[in-house]
Every structure is written in structure tokens, then in C-alpha cells.
Copies of this chain bind each other. A is one copy, B any other.
């Protein structure tokens, strides 16, 4: 992020998303929810899952595959679980509803699982995990998706990239926060190498015979992403599929529709899972102990050339603090997508961007 120049304030970015969602038919409350998720994700620097995705959501809202007036509702529940029918509403709306429910239930019993069906792409899993941690609970969030990652020994895609996130309250520090895909690297990294004409390390992709390749240009037509750490990432993918697909009543793997590529007039049928555990009832000293653990990790001897050892989420919280003060430097691909997306609902991105020359460096 060094020397990046902000091009939009965080509040204007959130306003833009909010206005766009309202123009696409969402209620004020739902638009605000979607805008908060997307702008927070950009503030964290996770630009692949922030406002860049607005265009795709708006297309589906306008075409009806996402229902602007959809209302997530509890389909079944017990003391420490619930299933939520997302009613094809915006994935962020259903997911916030579901995690709020998981938090409420965990406060009653200690732990809770909430599974979601009839959802769509939900953006950054970490947002929902962080909701729990901001409320003092441990949170986990995950979702399934169309196949895009190989299994060990497969020739093509078998599982989704199945995001998995957790957050843990850390007392005097911001929560621990991990948001990972089960793939070795994101497809975006391969695209970037492809655009630069560079080879990639062996291990990121398999070719159309299922063998390792360093040819970025083969992706995605003739190559497939690999699971992180081989059988470990593949195994985690199936845990995510079990909890967010099989247990939630959602579609799985090839029965899910692509939220970007398939007919925007049809529901995508994604599933998701949200778990919350309440330390207040179990071990109220947990946040303080996590803070001490963070101190211990930070004080550990560092590798040559390394100044800091980060804990999961630390970079994101620091970027968010900078974003609140100085704004966000949306990368060119995000700007392009956001311009096109907001134009779909008659908005002009330039009305929201900072005037050139007025922004400060972010680093």
C-alpha cells in the first residue's frame, strides 16, 4: 500500500454502494447492510471481494436472480441451531441476518450453528466472522461455490474455492481475523501473472491433463487452481461444503449457479454457514488471554529482514484505520468495475471520487 493515493473516502464509497443498492430496489436497511459489507471489505484492502463485486450483484438484482425484496427467514430452529432460507436476497443481507441469529443463540446456550440456503455470493466471509468478534464472541463464517479448485488426483475442478473465516475477540487488540480460500492462490493472482506475461510457480495450477504447470496463460481455459497444501485444502473444502451445503439444505458444487457467469435472472442457490461461540459463558478471560498471546507472538525472534510478525487480521485492521482517516485507493480494475456497475443504476462514479490532487498518500 506504500505510496498509494486515495481516490475515494470511505464514507463516499459506502454512500455510493448504498445509493446503488437502493436504486436497484433494496430497502434502505438492506442497502445499508450491503454497502457496509462492501466498503468495509475495501477498507481492509480485500479489493477482490469489495465494491468490485457491486456490478455483479446489481446485474442480478436488476434481472431478478437476486430478489431486491427478498426477505431471509428462519426455516427451522432449535436451541443452538437454525436454518435460514435466504429467499434469494442479497448474500450480504442474508448473511448478516444469519450471523446475528447465531450470536443471539450462542448467547443463550454457549454455541450456535446457522446454515443458509437460497443465498448467493456473500462477499468476504471475514465480515461475518468479525461481526461475532465485535460482539465479544468467536465467529466462523464459510460458504460453498461452483467448482473452481482441483482435488488431489483430479483433472479439473471438483470443489469450490470455499472461503473459510474466523474471528476471535482479543481484548485490548482488534480481533484475530482470518479469511482464507481453500485454493493455493486466488484466480486473480494467476490473471495478474497472465496479464504481465509471467510464468507462475509450479503448484498453483494443474493443466488440462491434471499435471502441474507454470503457464499462467492457460488459466482458466486449460488449467485449474490447486487446493492449498494439497489434501489439507481439499479436506477443508469438504468441511465447508458439509456445513454450508449439505447441512444447510443449499445446493452443492455443480448444482450451484455461477453468480458472475450464469443467467442473472436465476437464483444461484449458494449455501453458507455461520457459527458463534460465546466466551462470556465459557471463559470470560479469553480476550485477555488472546491479547497476551498476541504480545508473545509479536515478541518472537524475527527472520532476517523482517521487522514485524503479524497476527491474522492485523494488516486488515491497520488498513481500515488508514482508510477511515485518509480514504481508499481503489485499484484500476475496481474503478472500472464500479464505474460500469453504478452506471447500470444511473450513477456516475466521478461524482463520488476525490478530486485529483486533493488526496494524501496512504502509507
Contacts and interface: CB of A to CB of B under 8 A. Distances in A.
Nearest to A312: B235
B293 A253 contact: yes
A29 interface: no
Contacts of A78: 109-110, 281-282
Interface string A245-279: 11111001110000000000000000000010101
Contact of A254 (B112, B209, B234, B296): B296
Contacts of A168: 238-239, 242, 246
A135 interface: no
A155 B286 contact: no
Nearest to A254: B296
Interface in A82-127: 83, 108-113, 115
Contacts of A253: 293, 296
Interface string A219-256: 00000000011011111101101110111110011100
* Residue in A238, A303, A309 whose Cβ sees the most chain B Cβ within 10 Å: A303
Given A242-B286, A309-B151, A210 B302 contact: yes
Interface string A281-310: 111001001100100110011111010111
Given A79-B80, A110-B113, A238-B178, A247 B277 contact: yes
Interface of A is mostly: mixed
B112 A236 contact: no
A254 B292 CA distance: 12
A128 interface: no
A156 interface: yes
B209 A155 contact: no
A236 B233 CA distance: 12
Contact of A158 (B178, B290, B297): B297
A239 B138 CA distance: 10
Contact of A83 (B109, B248, B283): B283
Nearest to A212: B303
Given A113-B282, A154-B306, 9 more contacts: A83-B283, A154-B303, A155-B302, A178-B235, A178-B236, A180-B235, A229-B232, A235-B312, A238-B312
20 contacts: A78-B110, A79-B80, A79-B110, A113-B282, A115-B283, A138-B242, A153-B308, A155-B300, A155-B302, A156-B300, A158-B300, A180-B231, A184-B229, A210-B301, A228-B229, A231-B312, A238-B311, A238-B312, A241-B293, A247-B277
